[in-house]
């Protein structure tokens, strides 16, 4: 049976960070497919194993480290000539011990965004761009929001009233703010691409995303592309047309209590973020919720 038609091999993969923010890469040993290529460490999930338990076992067996903090992240399928794999990526933020090549494999701590080693496995390479995404996105929706937030370098600007006088005032205010902020990454909704503002990415509402069948041609390969989604179906659509990440908005419903609304939101967010192929942000939530977002496999919080 061809690999593309067979059941995927389930694999747990660890993105291991050290105190300096570097990422651990392991080199595939001799005698294995893609011998000499570099990847994030991990291994096959045994029958009946949970992803995080399998990853902890593999990292102990391969590198001699004990996992202390493991967060689910992304799940992606990839078809190699020799096998079809489903890769469950997790972030390892704390561990005990010093990595060792217990299977005679080489390993190195390197810059995850611009690694000096290579070649890197085709299934691993697309994940490197995702490593630069922050845990917090600052939403800019009013002129009063145009204040620098210490340590914040990612902003998402939404159109409050597209095409109106308020929009022109908003564009002018953003232009003045943007000219003073040299190192921020600003992602704007569609109207900003025709304005006098330097933006590094495009943000779409779900209705706009739904109308697309391909990634907008005017986006460069370096531009970020993101959208709001409210269902797993739209998450999959976003992944299919090339979004880099998605946001799940919190929407208030007057006929529900605050407790009921929160329960509904977390259930929806969990369904979308669980084993998602793209980083998923919660949007418009208040309070200390980042830990919950990360535990459910989310990337972070946009507010």
Sheet holding 42-44: strands in order across? 42-44, 9-16, 84-96, 66-79
Give the CATH number, domain containing residue 187.
3.20.20.70
The answer to whether residues 168 and 151 belong to one domain is yes
Q: Which of 102, 130, 158 is the last residue of a domain?
A: 130
Q: Are 199 and 193 in contact (CB under 8 A)?
A: yes
For residues 283 and 255, state if they share a domain.
yes
Are 140 and 122 in the same domain?
Answer: no
121 plus 90 within the same structural domain = yes
pLDDT over 60 (residue 3): no
Same domain, 88 and 145: no
What string of DSSP letters covers 169-230?
A: HHHHHHHHHHHH-SS-EEEEEGGGGGTT---SEEEE-HHHHHT-SS--TTS-TTSEEEEE-S
Q: Based on the domain organization, do 114 and 154 belong to the same domain? A: no
Pick from 115, 101, 136: which is nearest to 28 by CA? 101
Least confident of 19-23, 48-52, 105-109, 249-253: 249-253
Domain count, the chain: 2
The CATH number of the domain holding residue 61 is 3.90.79.10
By residue range, what is the domain housing residue 67?
A: 3-130
CA pair distance 281, 248, nearest whole angstrom: 6
pLDDT tens-place string over residues 151-176:
678 999 987 655 566 778 888 888 88
Same domain, 178 and 293: yes
Encode pLDDT of 260-283 as tens digits.
Answer: 999 999 999 999 999 999 999 999
Same-domain pairing of 295 and 150: yes
Neighbours of 52 (CB within 10 A): 17
Q: 128-143 as b/e, with b when 16 or more CB fall inside 10 Å?
A: bebeebbebbbbbeeb
CA distance 266 to 102: 41
Same domain flag for 124 and 144? no
Give the tens place of pLDDT for each residue, 195-244. Answer: 778 899 999 999 999 999 999 999 999 999 999 999 999 999 999 999 99
Q: What is the pLDDT of residue 2?
A: 47
User: Rounded to the nearest 5 degrees, what angle is found at the Cα of 138, between the Cα atoms of 136 and 142?
Assistant: 165
Whether residues 125 and 191 fall in one domain: no
- The full 3-state SS of 4-28, as one line of letters, equals HHCCCEEEEEEEEECCCCCEEEEEC
Domain boundary among 75, 105, 130: 130
For the segment 81-134, what is each residue's pLDDT rounded down to a tens digit?
888 999 999 999 999 999 999 988 999 999 999 999 999 999 999 999 999 999
Query: How many other C-beta atoms are found inside a 10 Å radius of the C-beta of residue 91?
Result: 18
49-64 pLDDT, tens digit per residue, is: 999 999 999 999 999 9
Q: Are both 96 and 143 inside the same structural domain?
A: no
The residue out of 130, 163, 182 marking a domain boundary is 130
Please tell me whether residues 174 and 286 are part of one structural domain: yes
């Amino acid at each position: 049976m061809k690999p593309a038609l067979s059941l995927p091999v389930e694999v747990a993969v660890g993105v291991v960070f050290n105190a300096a923010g570097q990422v651990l890469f392991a080199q595939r040993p001799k005698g294995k497919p893609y011998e000499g290529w570099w990847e994030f460490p991990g291994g096959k999930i045994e029958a009946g194993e949970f992803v995080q338990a399998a990853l902890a076992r593999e990292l102990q067996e391969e590198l001699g480290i004990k996992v202390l903090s493991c967060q689910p992240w992304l799940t992606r399928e990839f078809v190699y000539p020799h096998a079809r794999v489903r890769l469950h990526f997790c972030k390892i933020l704390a561990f005990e011990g010093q990595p060792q090549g217990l299977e005679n494999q080489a390993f190195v701590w390197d810059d995850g965004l611009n690694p000096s080693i290579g070649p890197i496995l085709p299934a691993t390479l697309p994940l490197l761009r995702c490593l630069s995404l922050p845990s917090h996105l600052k939403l800019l929706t009013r002129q009063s929001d145009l204040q620098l937030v210490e340590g914040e370098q990612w902003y998402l600007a939404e159109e409050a009233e597209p095409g109106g006088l308020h929009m022109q005032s908003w564009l002018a205010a953003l232009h003045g703010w943007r000219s003073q902020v040299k190192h921020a990454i600003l992602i704007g909704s569609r109207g900003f691409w025709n304005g006098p503002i330097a933006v590094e990415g495009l943000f779409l509402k779900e209705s706009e995303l739904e109308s697309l069948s391909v990634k907008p041609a005017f986006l460069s390969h370096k531009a970020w592309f993101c959208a709001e989604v409210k269902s797993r179906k739209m998450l999959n659509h976003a992944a299919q047309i090339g979004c880099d990440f998605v946001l799940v908005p919190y929407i208030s419903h007057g006929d529900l209590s605050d407790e009921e609304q929160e329960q509904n939101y977390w259930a929806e967010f969990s369904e979308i973020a669980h084993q998602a192929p793209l980083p998923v942000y919660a949007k418009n939530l208040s309070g200390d919720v980042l830990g919950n977002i990360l535990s459910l496999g989310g990337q972070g919080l946009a507010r």
